Structure formats: C-alpha cells, structure tokens
Amino acid sequence: MVKEINVGLIGLGTIGSGVVEILQKNSNLIRKRTGVKINLVNVCDKSSERAKQLKIEKICVSDYKLLLKNKKINVIVELIGGYEPAHTIIMDSIKAKKHVITANKAVLAKYGYEIFQAAQKNKVNVLFEASVGGCIPIIRTIEESFSSDHIESVYGILNGTTNFILTRMNEGMSYEDALKKAQELGFAEKDPSFDVEGKDAAQKIFLLASLAFDAKFVEEAFTSGILDLTKKDMDYAKELGYSIKLLGIAKKENNCVELRVGPCMIPSSSIFSSVNNEVNAVLLSGKQTGEIFLSGKGAGKLPTATVVVTDIIEIASRTRVVERFFEETKLKPLSETISKYYLRVGLVDEPGGLASIAKIFAEENISISGCAQKEINHSIVPVVFITHKATQGQINEAVKKCNLLSCVKEKIVLIRIEDLK
C-alpha cells in the first residue's frame, strides 16, 4: 500500500533546490523502495527565479502562510536558515498541525526546547537530521540506535570549512591561502567568521549534547576557533606525533556536562586524524554499547538534500509523535576541565627566559613533560612546552603570568591535547 506525503517547501536556496532535484529524479525509486509517494504541492521563496530554473514556477508562492492554509499539505520543510523568520515559520507550522523538517541547526540550538515542546503539544513531529553532520545519520543514531543506552561522551569534527582549512595547513599551506582555497571551492563563506571562530560547531555540539544527555542548558558551549593557529603549529604537532582538528566535545560527568569547542591536538594514529577536507565525523560512547564512529560529507547541496528527503520518508513511517524530554543541566566550569596542553611561547633569545617560564609553571602546580626550542639564531625564538594533565584554570593563570614577562614577546598559543584512539 502506497502512503502519500504532501510537502510544502520553504526556501529554494542551495539545499532547497537540491531537495527539488532529488524529488524530480528519484520519486519512482523512493516509491519502490519505501512505499512512500512524495508530492511537492507548493514551494515558497521570495524570488521566482530558482523556481523557473527548476520548472516549478506554477507551484511557487511568496507567502509561506499560503502553505499553512493548504489542507492538503501535511509536512513543511523549512530550508531558509538563520533565526528569523525561520523560528516564526517553524512555530506557525507546528500550530497549524503540520509536521516540520528542517536543516537549521542555528534555530534549533537557540529555540529547540520551545520548538520540541510545541510539537508534542500539537501532536506533530519535528525532524532535523540534516542540521548536524551533513549526510551522517547522527541524530537518528542518538535518538533511536542509542535510545536504550546511556551516552557518556560525544566527540565530533562538525564543521567542514575549518576541517578543510586545517587539512590544507597540515599539507603546507598558510591559513590565508587555505581559507582562500576553501572560498574558491564553495566550502567557506565570503565572511568565514562564524565557521573559523568555532560558532557553527558550537551550535551543533550544543544540539547533540542536549539530545544525547536529555539535557537543557541555559549556558552556551565554551568556544574558541582556529584563528591563532599557524603553519608552525601544524608542523610542530606533526613532529610530536599529533594532528590538529577543531573538535566539539561533550562529556557527562555526574550531574554536569563538559561542553566545549576548540582546536585540539590528537595522536596521528587516531581515527579522527584521517578525517580530512570537508568531511565530518562523530564518535559516540555508550555505557553498554561502547564506541561508534560515523563519518561522511558534512556539507554540500545533494548530500544534505538527500538527508532532508530521508526525513520526509521517515515522517510517513512514524506511528507516534516523538517525545523529547530535557532536564536542566549545568555545564562544568571551563576552569575545572582537565587536559594536557601544548603551549608555543615566543621568547627573547637570552639567558633566563626558560627558567622564568618553568618557575611560573611550578607555582601553578603544572608539570612539564617536554620542552623544545624550535629555532636558533633569531631575536625571538619559539619554544614549545607539553604539559602533563592540568586544569584549564591552572593553565590560564600560568599563561597570564607568562605574558607579563619581559622575555615573552608574542601571544602564547595554547592548544589542548586529547588522547583519542
């Protein structure tokens, strides 16, 4: 028996156009494999140009409310991105008793708790697999495959732009050249700040942690980006047997969660080290199930659109409304988190500099596991320190004191070291 789903699509940008193309090309395949017939009833976009290119101008309107009034439509697909009007459109769709599918991680990170509560009240489903990780089925894995287990941690390479840049820097490019290449290939925006400052990854790890731990956070993830990294750091990491990746990390400890995003050194033998270019990856650790690793293209028109269409198919098979519950959960203060650290210090090449640094580390109870002067015969030389485990508070205080020394002439670069397998 064929089940029909009538869709109203809002937003004919890159992903929205991809959804239309997939439905035009693969409708028969979808019907054969799943028994679901997807009917694109209406699309909504401010401009009709894309609709003309896709030959769907007859079903294109400029007012999304017309889709909500159409009783034939039972699923709204929101693909305009951003906070507003996306948030209003999603809430209005839910109130109109329409199921919602979105790829909008920003609106879910900010308004997700409100959206999920409204969906349960109105007995509709909200699906959002494409919001995190592109074509990686990470949301479904957390909500379905791990539904009978306690997830203990989530580690992820969650931003294709930064991963592409770091891959190119690891191959010898400067940050500036790697960014330019990413922009030329369409992996980076003209203004890449949201990606390179770690904000995009922070929204994604916030969403994953909320679902993984059934947690309601009132604080945002602690976030740092890749702007302070240089080719030198990539080279020094390689010499030490590490690679550098921007990681989103969520770890549950008792009644609080460690939630952060930042560049991390990981062993070159780690499975994450082989995740390159625009590819994303997530490592989940469950109490009973152990570890599961997923990777795939984290961006792109058709990979992301494919996941959106899969959510439409999933709506057809749902026999119940998903009930999500969240308990208010505190974040572990960043100052109390523990890690090993890499520090690159630009020192004046004169006697006493290293001793002054070592003295400050000792005062803060930080044990040094390794130290190397990387260049000679320069007025300012980079010195690399590797510490044993210490709290972020200890490291921050040490860095603050070191920056006041007359022998320290450059901003100290600090990178966490994560011993991931």
- Dihedrals phi, psi of 128, to nearest 5 degrees: -155, 40
Please state, in angstroms and as integers, the Cα–Cα distance from residue 43 to each residue in 72, 78, 235, 307, 329, following that order.
13, 10, 50, 18, 39
* Among 52, 8, 416, CA closest to 248: 416
Residue in the structure block whose two tokens are 């937003």 = 11
Count of Cβ atoms closer than 10 Å to residue 305 Cβ: 24
Length of the chain in terms of residues written? 421
- Those residues whose C-beta lies under 8 Å from the C-beta of residue 330, and which sit 6 or more positions away, are 219, 255, 256, 257
Q: What is the DSSP letter of 261?
A: E
Task: Determine whether 301 is an active site residue.
Answer: no
DSSP per residue, 338-403? EEEEEEEEEEESSTTHHHHHHHHHHHTTPPEEEEEE---SSSEEEEEEEE-SEEHHHHHHHHHHHH
- Reference 16, options 43, 41, 37; nearest CA is 43
Distances in Å between the Cα of 122 and the Cα atoms of 97, 107, 299, 321 are: 6, 19, 32, 9
Catalytic choice (98, 199, 204, 340): 204
Q: Tell me: cis bond preceding 263? Omega within 30 of 0 counts.
A: no
Select from 22, 72, 78, 87 the least CA-distant residue to 45: 78
- Residues recognised as catalytic: 204
